[in-house]
Amino acid sequence: MTTIEQERTVRAACPHDCPDTCALRVTVSGNRVIRVEGDPDHPPTDGVLCTKVARYAERTHHADRLTQPLRRTGPKGSGQFEAVSWAVAITEIAARLTQIAARDPQRIVPYSYAGTMGFVQGDGLAQRFFHAIGASRLEATICSAAGSNGLASVHGKSVGMAVEQFEHSKLILLWGTNPVTSSVHLWRRIQAAKRKGAVVVAIDPFESDSAQKCDRWLALRPGTDAALALALINILITENLLDHDWIKQHTEGFEALSERAMQWPAARAAEVCGIEEADIVWLARQWGTVRPGAIRVNYGVQRARGGADAVRAIAALAALTGAWRDAAGGMLLSSSGWFPVDVTGWQRPDLMPSWPDRLPRSVNMSAIGDALAIPVASTAASTSIPIEAIVVWNANPVAVAPDSESVIQGFAREDLFTVVLEHFQTDTADWADWVLPATTQMEHFDLHKSYGHTSLVVNHPAIAPIGDALPNSEIFRRLARAMGLTEPALFDDDETVARSALDWSHPRLAGVTWEDLLERGWASLTMDPTVNPLANGGFPTASGRVQLVDPALGAQGRDPVPDWQPPWESAEVDPQRSALYPLQLISPPARNFLNTTFVNVTSIRAREGEPECLLHPADATQRGLIDGTLVRVFNDRGAFAARLRVTERTRPGVAVAPSIWWHRDAPGVHGGPGRNVNAVTSQRLTEGGAGATFYDCRVEVEALG
């Protein structure tokens, strides 16, 4: 007999690494997700979702979901595993970690990023666990480190204008960002502004889906944004398009910045950026005269050596014209600094053995290939403690970290103990000793902040776990117990962890109660979105002013005044490499994927087609290549195969490979295994923030014969 299950609706949050952090309504029947929709009452979501998450049922109930703990049976990387019970898995993993910790707990490295951005299933209990055992710390630099570092220099923290205000701006600069792809709700506001006559300018080497819809597209060379910003400042100064009053009251360092900008006449920047001098002058006059003016700068500008300084120079533009005076003026990189997060209560760094005096070493996740290169038998000094165990959750380093060949070599080490918590058998899970099935957002509780808006969003579980999957939080509780740890904070339940993440006495949470939040599913911080909170300064810097110059950088051996630093892989820094590999390669997010998430969802992947490499007609002709050819994109680090697209959407000298495909989805090169774009990217780090330099990468392209 079949019974018709009653449908119910559950309030949830999108867990993904996307500034929009949508509030979701999930329709469930029995233990099946039927539909996922945007919450019409949550202003930033406004009832709309991207195509990816609108298809969340397909991902949740995918036939390939991992449903049981798996123990490796074949050689590393062979993909041979056997299913075992949770009891066996936890006991054996705990025993091995205990053994390694007895030698030196710093030999254990946690590796996680933004598979889910929730306070509970992200870095909550997991960090407490690793802190308590004294494991190495992870420097979370793979995405936004350079930009955050630059922004902290200028603004003190990641604060900026309200996303709601963009629809009232008259001039919008989309600087290194493609919101049609990566922030669809912001794009809707920009469209509204356009309908009211706003001028929208894309500053991007690639004519992205957003750039195509802008009034102007300035196709600068990758990694030259600071040069452009300094030239704009130069013109603002020489043509006196400054807000002297605002500068005087709310900034510091104007003199030194002016001196620097005088070294950047438009002609010099035009040469460095590879754009027309007249376009620079036009843009400076627009920025200096049109109000309200808003800059949406995003992470595309900070994936090259000088990314932090690019953000600093761009942020200075907003200050110099007093753009902040207007509600719809200023700039936005990330809004996450508005949330009163209590990191100590949430992640409990005090559980580290000698906190706060001597902390365990930290490993930069953007150079994990190099970090894994040291074998356990190494006798080198303590600066190079070998990694003997790596525990991965919410991340897919084998596919997303730069310089894949070195990352894979590291994960292939026989003496490395690897545990991967996952939904699917990813490129990383392939190299694991243990694969543990984790619940998805549809199956666990969480609480989210956002880096694009200013409300908290709750995630209630919509269905029971698929198979034997467990939430990350529960897996770390069980490991802690099996390792004999007794600290009560390691066993807090999910709601307690969520509540611990915020400072509830903070004025921005005044009036927000936990009960309301649970019931409604979201709560806005108490900030008036019609008022620019930074109109009268009050930046979270030591002086409350915008720091056009950051004296503290001197002590770190960096220039206190922002300047352009040529990319690592440029003719200025490395002429030999630039001659061998004449093309700059960027690999921005593909519209239908979210990093490597969703690549294995059939209907979504069908929309992306196959791995592609875009080249300008001049570059294609020079190499005798035609559209549709299968090409090999390569340098001395590695190679990947892709379908060539010849198009004027990229500028001469720049190859574009929309990303991030799984390695296994790409055709192999010359009989080798499939590789994605990270086969060619480098482990060099940015000057500020020690971030990844994915778009600071030189390659050559040839037909895959």
Ligand X SMILES: Nc1nc2c(c(=O)[nH]1)N[C@H]1C(S)=C(S)[C@@H](COP(=O)(O)OP(=O)(O)OC[C@H]3O[C@@H](n4cnc5c(=O)[nH]c(N)nc54)[C@H](O)[C@@H]3O)O[C@H]1N2
Tell me the backbone φ, ψ of residue 665, rounded to 5 degrees: -85, -15
For ligand X, which residue of 158, 425, 473, 678 counts as binding (CB under 6 A)? 678
The token pair at 615 is: 């080249």
Q: Where are the alpha helices (DSSP H) in 218-306?
A: 225-238, 244-250, 254-262, 266-273, 277-289
Applying the rule CB under 6 A, the residues between 292 and 311 that interact with ligand X are: 298-301, 304
Closest to ligand X by CB, 242 vs 294, is 294
Binding status of residue 23 toward ligand SF4 by CB under 6 A:
no
Pairing of strands 583-586, 698-703: antiparallel
**Percent helix, percent strand, percent coil in the chain, to nearest 5:** 35, 20, 45
Comparing CA positions, the residue from 234, 202, 236, 231 lying closest to residue 219 is: 202
- Asked if 50 interacts with ligand SF4 (CB under 6 A), we say yes
Q: Is 60 left (phi over 0), alpha (psi -120 to 50) or beta?
A: alpha
Q: At its nearest, how many Å lie between Mo ion and the CB of residue 333? A: 13
From the number of C-beta atoms within 10 Å of its C-beta (0-12, 13-18, 19+), residue 34 rates as middle
Told to check if 590 binds Mo ion by CB under 5 A, we report no
Closer CB to Mo ion, 145 or 314, in the complex: 145
Least distance (Å) between residue 498 CB and ligand X: 14
Separation CA 45–CA 35 (nearest Å): 16
Report which DSSP code applies to 364: E
By CB under 6 A, which span of 15-23, 320-328, 542-550, 636-644 interacts with ligand SF4? 15-23
Specify the residue, 9 or 98, whose C-beta has the smaller distance to ligand SF4: 9
Q: Are 190 and 166 in contact (CB under 8 A)?
A: yes
Nearest to ligand SF4 of 50, 701 (CB atom)? 50
CB of 671 to ligand SF4, least distance (A): 37
Give the binding range for ligand SF4 (CB under 6 A) out of 48-56, 415-423, 547-555, 598-606. 48-56
- Which of these, 220, 683, 189, lies nearest to 409 by C-alpha position? 683
3-state secondary structure of 603: helix
Q: Smallest distance, Å, CB 595 to ligand SF4? A: 11
Q: Kindly state the number of chain residues that form the binding site for ligand X, as judged by CB under 6 A.
A: 58
Footprint of ligand X on residues 72-111 (CB under 6 A)? none
Residues in contact with ligand X, shown as a per-residue x/- string from 248 to 287 under the rule CB under 6 A: ----------------------------------------
Least Å distance, CB 10 to ligand X, is 17
Cβ(622)–Cβ(589) below 8 Å: no
Q: Total residues contacting ligand SF4 (rule CB under 6 A)?
A: 12
Which position among 89, 94, 97, 143 is part of the footprint of Mo ion (CB under 5 A)?
143
Q: Centre a 10 Å sphere on the Cβ of residue 567 and count the other Cβ atoms it contains.
A: 27
User: Residue 654 is which amino acid?
Assistant: V
- Residues between 89 and 128 that touch ligand SF4 (CB under 6 A): none
- Part of the chain binding ligand SF4 (CB under 6 A), chosen from 10-18, 98-106, 316-324, 480-488: 10-18
With CB under 5 to 8 Å by kind, the binding choice for 21 among ligand SF4, Mo ion, ligand X, none is ligand SF4
Binding mask 575-614 for ligand SF4 (x = CB under 6 A): -------------------x--------------------
Q: Crossing angle, helix 145-155 and helix 307-320, to 10 degrees?
A: 40
- Per the CB < 8 A criterion, the answer to whether 228 and 222 are in contact is no
Q: For every residue of 368-433, which 3-state class applies, written as one string?
A: HHHHCCCCCCCCCCHHHCCCCEEEEECCCHHHHCCCHHHHHHHHCCCCCEEEEEECCCCCCHHHCC
User: Is 333 a residue that touches Mo ion (CB under 5 A)?
Assistant: no
Give me the 162-191 binding string for ligand SF4, x by CB under 6 A, dash otherwise.
----------------------x-------
Q: Is 21 in the site for ligand SF4 (CB under 6 A)?
A: yes
Distance CA 324, CA 536 (A): 8
Closest to ligand X by CB, 111 or 254: 111
Over the window 411 to 440, marking each residue x when it contacts ligand SF4 by CB under 6 A and - when it does not, the resulting string is ------------------------------
Burial environment of residue 216 by CB neighbours within 10 A (0 to 12, 13 to 18, 19 or more): middle
163-202: which residues touch ligand X (CB under 6 A)? 175-178, 181-182
Pick one of Mo ion, ligand SF4, ligand X, none as the site partner of residue 22 (Cβ within 5 to 8 A by kind).
ligand SF4
As a whole number of angstroms, the distance between CA 95 and CA 674 comes to 35
Q: Shortest Cβ distance from residue 472 to ligand X (Å)? A: 5
DSSP-derived letter for residue 366 is G
Count CA within 13 A, CB hemisphere, residue 696. Answer: 28
Going from the C-alpha of 296 to that of each of 86, 187, 189, 390, 523, the distances in angstroms are 46, 11, 12, 37, 24
Task: Return the range that interacts with ligand X (CB under 6 A); candidates 123-131, 247-255, 421-429, 536-544.
Answer: 421-429
Q: Which is nearer to ligand SF4, 20 or 433 (CB)?
A: 20
CB-based contact 681:403 (threshold 8 Å) = yes
For ligand SF4, the closer CB: 448 or 663: 448
Of 110 and 253, which has the nearer Cβ to ligand X? 110
Please state whether beta strands 654-656 and 583-586 pair in parallel, antiparallel, or not at all (unpaired): parallel
Residue 459 binding ligand X, by CB under 6 A = no
Q: Is 55 in the site for ligand SF4 (CB under 6 A)?
A: no
Binding site for Mo ion (CB under 5 A): 143
Binding site for ligand X (CB under 6 A): 15, 17-18, 113-116, 121, 142-143, 175-178, 181-182, 203-206, 208, 222-223, 225, 298-301, 304, 393-396, 400, 421-424, 426, 438, 472, 586-589, 591, 593-597, 659-660, 677-678, 681, 694-695
Binding site for ligand SF4 (CB under 6 A): 14, 16, 18, 20-22, 49-50, 52-53, 184, 594
